[in-house]
Structure 1
Amino acid sequence: MDILPNLLHIVVVSISFCLVFLIFRQKSTHSKLPPGKKGWPIIGETLEFGTAGQRGTPEMFIKERMRKYSQGLFQTSLFGENLAVMCGASGNKFLFSNEKKYVTAWWPRCIQKVVFESEENYNNNDSTKLRSLVVEFFKPEALQYFIPIMDSMAKEHLETDWSPYKQVKILSLSLKYTFALACRLFMSITDPNHVTTFSDPFNLVKAGTVSVPINIPGTAYNRALKGGKVIRQELLALIKERKKELADNKGTVAHDLLTHTLLASDENGRALDEMVIAGNILGFLIASHDTTSSAITSVLKYLAEFPHVYNLVLQAEQMEIARSKGPKDLLNWDDIKKMKYSWNVACESMRLLSPAPGAFREVIHEFTYKGFTIPKGWKTFWTVHSTHKNPKYFPDPEKFDPSRFEGHGPAPYTFVPFGGGPRMCAGREYARLQILVYMHNVVTRFKWEKAIPDEKITYQLSSIPAHGLPVILKPHKL
């Protein structure tokens, strides 16, 4: 009879010990996680992150937490995911240098669903193969053959959409040009009506990817899902048509990104999945469209604000190139290589108004960074907002100064509009050519001034002027 009280005592002590151990272990584990807070249940700090552009800039979201928690690393929760935000040049270097070792590319599931329809298509092995094909397609030695096409389309664009008017909105026109160019180079689509077939649902996709991801009829996200489906169906029809052309006569088929992917195969000689190709091309359209248009708009904004910079771009480079051309000559690779100062201006514009805030990664193996544990399955985020305007890397950071990019330029991992490492933006050279070709054509034909001198900048997928940057045109006298 005396055994029972002793047994109960042992059980109570054992349970108490286990509870103390579990609590201690839980606290110990939590103490290893990065400082910060996750916000509300499920939604975390997604709303604060999404509305940062309305309150000022997304930079505020990052800087407030860097100031409050840590200059190098903090945790939050976005899109229902635990997130570690890596800050500064060291954070950029760590993520860029550890692709496939600790982290891999990741998009929020709400965006994956719009672009790829299913997570399975996003994670399909063919997607990895497709990225290597895109990198190959966008190599400088391959893209140089597209420079005359970019130039001829820019000239036609200015003649049609700029010259007849005294005032234009630069953002909408740059969006129109970059989308038409993408349709031409990605899919060989030149008919304006066919371009519209893609651009109308594409605009729904763009609007929905920056909205609250609630999938009920009437919401922007629901319209984005429908728009993504329409584009994939159009792409699948185009794929079938292109496959027939390839089967009939390969020699006459246009050399574009679509054909480049259709001619490829996986390691077993199998053709790549059509739905995955369609989803990836839609993804490339999104990635290349707003960012490049935003960069072009920012460049022209700063050229309007700093006449001495405009004059240097025009007189020191672009007019010299223009005078070297015959009436029907188009830009070529040698001309682009002469635009060094113009590219410095573009880089400084992207430093101050970055086309994209950063990018996500998924942790595939737990790692330790700055003494904190980042668990497997967490997501990470590198951001331009921890370096681009950081006085530690760029003295007097709010000043527009293209000379920052002369010589060796900024320190490594501080200027990262295109990311870095193996996952550096595949279209960075494509974007560079678009920006420089557009700059050349606009500055050699016009001078302009801002119609709204104090126009505010807003932030959606990219940084954009609140009213689309309306400008008053002043054509050069011939």
Structure 2
Amino acid sequence: MFGNPSIIVCSPQACRRVLNDDEGFKPGWPTSTQQLMGRKSFVSISDQQHKWLRKLTAAPVNGFEALTVYMKYIEENAIIALQKWEEMPQIELLTELRSLTFNIIMHIFLSSEGESVREVLEKEYTALNYGVRAMAINVPGFAYHNALKARKRLVGVLGAIVSKRRAQRREDPSSPRRDMMDALLDAEDENGARLDDEGIVDILVMYLNAGHESSGHTTMWAALFLHQNPHMFNKAKAEQEDIIRNRPPDQKGLTLKEIRKMDYLNKVIDETLRVVSFSLMVFREAKKDVTVCGYTIPKGWKVLVWFRSVHYDPEAWPDPKRFDPSRWDNFIPKAGNFLPFGGGSRLCPGNDLAKLEVSIFLHHFLLNYEFEQSDPASPVMYLPHSRPKDNCLGKMRRMTAKTS
């Protein structure tokens, strides 16, 4: 499997052990994935490099201060998007949400780039993403071939942006730092080494892809599950109305404090992450012979950590295929039983940002809109990520005149 002897780990205990044992395991993504993400991206670099770059990029994306700063931008764009969609005869909800979340991640990393650049990058990322988990068949017509071509174009566009930004900073060293691109250009490790253009481009390729796909898909499924369960929709809506009712009259927009009061909505989001399991698996490789739950994994073997099995374990999650936010009432899952963003030192660095985006969008959606799906029986596609085949085609309808 994947060109190497491989083993799939499915139990919570085994998954947790593999993800947390950096002495025994290293990233083991297939060569095809590494080629698409880049040899200097997070999926390929050593533990030491990863630790440095994670520290550099995680706080500006996931820290309290950063989330507070991004909230206003996320909220403004969510409101604008919903208003735009209600005027359209039909929308592919997933497509529109991916566009919204891509706009947000672009603002964080490349805020000074224009709309035309954003549209070009978004188009190429769609093709790239379809090839990440495809068979490595580099033949015209296959997803992997198209993804390689998309990566080449992405590298060209992002490389030009990096060169342009470097030139601007040479001409005006005192120019203000605007986004994560500037942080990457300034980055320097303990030995004084800086990132080269290839390293910056590979980090951008990875972050811009991961930074919009997970939140876009999760938001779609959460909205769809609520639409399919009216009593849950009404309960989540009542919670959001209560937040508005208790808001100071002079306050404009959401606050992190209010987000943290969304108890039921947070359960809806966690249950969505469990049922959908956006990232079905991650890959590791044994650095040495390692014994996991009584089984010895030989050095060099690939290890596929299968999140779906963890999230559908009936011992941890009774009736696991059923969407039920109430299962989270007074419940904290045991370590290893809930891994929506992975685990260990390579836990997704943007997990809090993703959940913030989902919460803000659903807040405004629940207060003012409903979504009518055109084909509730649309079959589900599972690669590269779970989604309705028609990308959730339907109509966005405004339900109330309330505003927040």
TM over 0.5: yes
- How far did residue 147 of structure 1 move? 0.9
- State the 1:189 CA deviation: 4.7
1:155 is matched by which residue type in structure 2?
I
Secondary structure, aligned partner of 2:278: coil
Q: Secondary structure at the match of 1:138?
A: helix
- 1:369: how far off? 2.2
Post-superposition offset of 1:325: 6.8
CA contact (8 A) 1:104 1:363 kept: yes
Compare 147-156 and 218-227 and name the one that shifted more: 218-227
Report the Cα offset of residue 461 of structure 1.
Answer: 2.0
Q: Name the aligned partner's letter for residue 209 of structure 1.
A: V
Secondary structure (helix, strand or coil) at the match of 1:473 reads: strand
Whether 1:293 aligns to 2:216 is: yes
Q: 1:150 aligns with which of 74, 79, 86?
A: 74
The amino acid across from 2:98 in the alignment is L
Matches for 1:128-277 after TM superposition, within 5 Å: 128-141=51-64, 142-160=66-84, 162-189=85-112, 191-247=114-170, 248-254=172-178, 256-277=179-200
Change (3 A) 1:109 1:452: same
User: How many percent identity over aligned positions?
Assistant: 26
| 1:126/1:372 CA distance change after superposition, 3 Å | closer
Equivalent residue, structure 1, for 2:375: 452
AA in 2 matched with 1:407:
N
How much does 1:88 deviate?
1.4
Q: CA deviation at 1:139?
A: 2.9
| Partner residue in 2 for 1:418 | 341
Q: Distance in 2 between matches of 1:250 and 1:340?
A: 45
SS at match of 1:123: coil
Give the alignment partner of residue 106 of structure 1, picking from 28, 36, 50.
28
Partner of 1:381: 304
User: Which structure 1 residue ranges, 4+ long, deviate > 4 Å from structure 2?
Assistant: 117-121, 124-128, 325-328
1:78-128 CA distance string (max 9 Å, x none) = x11221211211112211321x21012232111111221689994376555
User: What is the CA–CA distance in structure 2 between the aligned matches of 1:134 and 1:432, rounded to whole Å?
Assistant: 17
Structure-1 separation of matches of 2:161 and 2:249: 38
Aligned counterpart in structure 2 of residue 427 of structure 1, from 327, 331, 350: 350
Letter aligned with residue 153 of structure 1: N
Taking the aligned partners of 1:318 and 1:138, their CA distance within structure 2 comes to 29
Distance 1:389 1:263 in 2: 44
- CA distance in 2 between partners of 1:245 and 1:323 (Å): 47
Contact 1:189 1:195 in 2 (8 A): no
2:100 and 2:248 mapped to 1: Cα distance? 23
* DSSP-derived class of the 1:207 partner: helix
2:31 partner letter: R
Unpaired stretches in structure 2, ≥5 consecutive residues: none
3-state DSSP of counterpart to 1:361: strand
Q: Point out which structure has higher relative CO (alpha carbons under 8 A, 6+ apart).
A: 2
SS of the counterpart of 1:104?
Answer: strand
* CA displacement at 1:245 relative to structure 2: 3.7
Alpha-carbon distance, 1:405 to partner: 1.9
Deviation at 1:438, TM superposition (A): 1.2
Aligned AA (1:159) = Q
**Contact 1:447–1:476 (8 Å) recurs in 2:** yes
Report the alpha carbon displacement of residue 192 of structure 1 after superposing the two structures with TM.
2.3
Tell me whether 119-128 or 307-316 shows the greater mean CA deviation: 119-128
The alignment status of 1:90 with 2:16, answered yes or no, reads no
User: For residues 245 and 366 of structure 2, what CA distance do their matches in structure 1 show?
Assistant: 11
Q: Could you tell me which amino acid in structure 1 is paired with residue 68 of structure 2? A: Q
Tell whether the 8 Å contact from 2:40 to 2:199 is kept in structure 1 after alignment: no
What SS does the aligned partner of 1:447 have?
strand
* C-alpha contact 2:132 2:147 (8 A) present in aligned 1: yes
- Would the alpha carbon gap of residues 272 and 81 (structure 1) be closer, same or farther in structure 2, given more than 3 Å must change? same
Instruction: Confirm whether residue 337 of structure 1 aligns to residue 260 of structure 2.
Output: yes
Classify 1:352/1:244 alpha carbon distance in 2 versus 1 (closer, same or farther; 3 Å).
same
Which residue identity is paired with 2:368? R
Give the aligned partner of residue 238 of structure 2.
315
Structure 1 residues 456 and 127: alpha-carbon distance in aligned structure 2, compared to 1, 3 A threshold: same
Show the counterpart of 1:116: 38
Structure 2 match to 1:282 = 205
Q: What secondary structure does 1:365 align onto?
A: coil
Query: How many Å apart are 1:457 and its aligned residue?
Result: 1.8
Q: Give the distance between the partners of 1:419 and 1:229, measured in 2 at CA.
A: 28
- Contact conserved, 2:287 with 2:300, CA < 8 A, in 1? yes
Q: Secondary structure at the match of 1:184?
A: helix
Kept in 1, the 8 Å contact 2:40–2:202? The answer is: no
Q: CA deviation at 1:452?
A: 1.6
Distance 1:86 1:440, change over 3 A: same
Return the alpha-carbon distance in structure 2 between the equivalents of residues 118 and 267 of structure 1.
18
Q: Is the 8 A contact 2:41 2:199 kept in 1?
A: no
Q: Deviations over 1:411-452 (max 9, x none)?
A: 221111111222111111111111111111222220233222
Aligned to 1:59: none
Q: TM-score, normalising length from structure 1?
A: 0.78
Q: Which amino acid aligns with 2:78?
A: A
Distance 1:169 1:327, change over 3 A: farther
TM-score (norm 2): 0.91
Residue identity in the other structure for 2:194: A
Q: Distance between the aligned counterparts of 1:401 and 1:306, measured in 2? A: 10
Distance change (3 Å), C-alpha of 1:392 and 1:154: same
Amino acid at match of 2:45: N
- The number of residues matched between the two structures is 398
2:387 maps to 1:468:
no
Distance in 1 between residues matched to 2:40 and 2:181, nearest whole Å? 21
Q: Following TM superposition, by how much is the alpha carbon of 1:292 offset from its aligned partner in structure 2, in angstroms? A: 1.8
Q: Structure 1 residues 391, 476: closer, same or farther in 2, change over 3 A?
A: same
Look up the SS of the partner of 1:448 in the other structure.
Answer: strand
Instruction: Tell me by how many angstroms 1:181 deviates.
Output: 1.2
> Greater Rg, structure 1 or structure 2?
1
Distance change in 2, residues 1:121/1:332 (3 Å): closer
